Structure 1
């Protein structure tokens, strides 16, 4: 029960198994009758027939809010005869955070600021005009909202040559992350990894953009290519899987804010 969730999390959406795509993975059998929420010291946990799952490091998966545990329990309850961890994005995200532990929080904060330093929203195309317009429409408003909310300035650039962002901007954003808890940071890092943007993760966390607005902003270039050349089945399938991961991270952020 523990190992398969860890393995799925390590290899999610990174091309794992592409060379063996024709081989159907062997999934663990469902071994429990019901998934419920159980109060625990420090919060709440999912209980499978009364037993609380542990991470590979033997940590109980305890979350601060019952609503988060309920969302995870729903994923466990939805499993059929086999347990498919790829249909349990909330559970995998939370398990990963619990296993990593509070000691990883500073590194998670640093990673967000690192992304911001060379963020997707700050590197613009110069051609074609249709792509330039798409980027401006999706990204300019987001940058304005972020700048006003945090009281910072950004320096967008055209092309791919590195443009350093103002040190005070990065310092202020790092300071804003200081109060974020482990689960919030884990969800933000998941959003950031999927979208390629620390700024979009910050915008989502602070309610400056909706999840749909963040998703659209993250896929401006891809959607532009689709408008020109049409959809590619493999990319469409991969995007659908990433959307499930994104939605789980966005939902976790929303539950933590509620």
Structure 2
């Protein structure tokens, strides 16, 4: 037997099984018809979203699949599935777990050197700190290094209230941006339009971008980052539509 670790087998490909995907008003919102039949989530719930524009964009994702259905290229559909099959069933738990990020949020932990990185963190993160302090009526404690610092006991409850002010779809998008960045404060600033998607992406990747500027980036890392960027923009799009 070989000593090499077994590699996981790739997910089986699903052949496109429909001729036409089109957006349509459905009970509970807007969805996608596949040859006249409503598309469904992995748990067999009807795929619907509350916004007509988003319904059309979902249909565009389904129509673009050819010859196989490749879910990594369908970030809006995956977000909608998460909202319907996951967030809607565990909403309170999602809010609680996201609010907990505020206790050790990325943007509160700063580098002490080199000077260029310190400056870039301040440039990207300080506007979010100012917004968060105003939005939560608390003062954030910042630190240089990885030693844990305590935040105001009022911070997490205030953050939880801001998170709860999102419907299930927006909450799924907020959760994605939070876990991708390590910062619920950044995700909320994006949702509240205190920063735009480009500023949020930059804030989430300050350290990584600094390393790339110093040492370069290999092709595999670049491909992975491109996929993450696609997902991030989809989440930002959902947040923007939900605030329209």
| Same fold? TM cut 0.5 | yes
Deviation at 1:170, TM superposition (A): 1.7
Deviation at 1:86, TM superposition (A): 0.9
> RMSD of the TM alignment (CA)?
1.7
User: Which residue does the alignment assign to 2:135?
Assistant: 149
Deviation at 1:27, TM superposition (A): 1.7
Once residues 128 and 99 of structure 1 are traced to their aligned partners in structure 2, the CA distance between those partners, rounded to angstroms, is 44
Matched, 1:215 2:233: no
User: Which residue does the alignment assign to 1:132?
Assistant: 118
Q: 1:118 to 1:144 in 2, by over 3 A?
A: same
Once residues 19 and 89 of structure 1 are traced to their aligned partners in structure 2, the CA distance between those partners, rounded to angstroms, is 25
Once residues 173 and 123 of structure 1 are traced to their aligned partners in structure 2, the CA distance between those partners, rounded to angstroms, is 18
Matched, 1:241 2:227: yes
User: Which residue does the alignment assign to 2:37?
Assistant: 51
Ranges of 4+ aligned residues in structure 1 off by more than 6 Å: none
Deviation at 1:40, TM superposition (A): 1.7
Deviation at 1:19, TM superposition (A): 3.6
Matched, 1:89 2:80: no
Matched, 1:169 2:159: no
Task: Give the TM-score taking structure 2 as reference length.
Answer: 0.92
Alpha-carbon displacement from aligned partner over 1:209-231 (angstroms, at most 9, x marks no partner): 00000000111101111111112
Bigger shift: 54-63 or 247-256?
A: 54-63
- Do the aligned residues in 2 keep the contact of 1:105 with 1:181 (CA within 8 Å)? no
- Do the aligned residues in 1 keep the contact of 2:163 with 2:188 (CA within 8 Å)? no
3-state secondary structure, aligned to 2:23: strand
Q: Give the 5 Å matches for 1:1-258.
A: 19=7, 26-258=12-244
Once residues 123 and 155 of structure 2 are traced to their aligned partners in structure 1, the CA distance between those partners, rounded to angstroms, is 23
- Do the aligned residues in 1 keep the contact of 2:43 with 2:85 (CA within 8 Å)? yes
Bigger shift: 73-82 or 169-178?
A: 169-178
Deviation at 1:127, TM superposition (A): 1.4
Once residues 141 and 248 of structure 1 are traced to their aligned partners in structure 2, the CA distance between those partners, rounded to angstroms, is 23
Bigger shift: 36-45 or 101-110?
A: 101-110
- Do the aligned residues in 1 keep the contact of 2:87 with 2:172 (CA within 8 Å)? no
Question: Structure 2: which 5+ runs fail to align?
Answer: 1-5
Q: 1:162 to 1:101 in 2, by over 3 A?
A: closer
Once residues 162 and 236 of structure 1 are traced to their aligned partners in structure 2, the CA distance between those partners, rounded to angstroms, is 31
Alpha-carbon displacement from aligned partner over 1:163-197 (angstroms, at most 9, x marks no partner): 12111122212122233211111000011111121
Q: 1:101 to 1:230 in 2, by over 3 A?
A: closer
The number of residue pairs the alignment matches comes to 239
Q: 1:101 to 1:158 in 2, by over 3 A?
A: closer
Bigger shift: 164-173 or 145-154?
A: 145-154
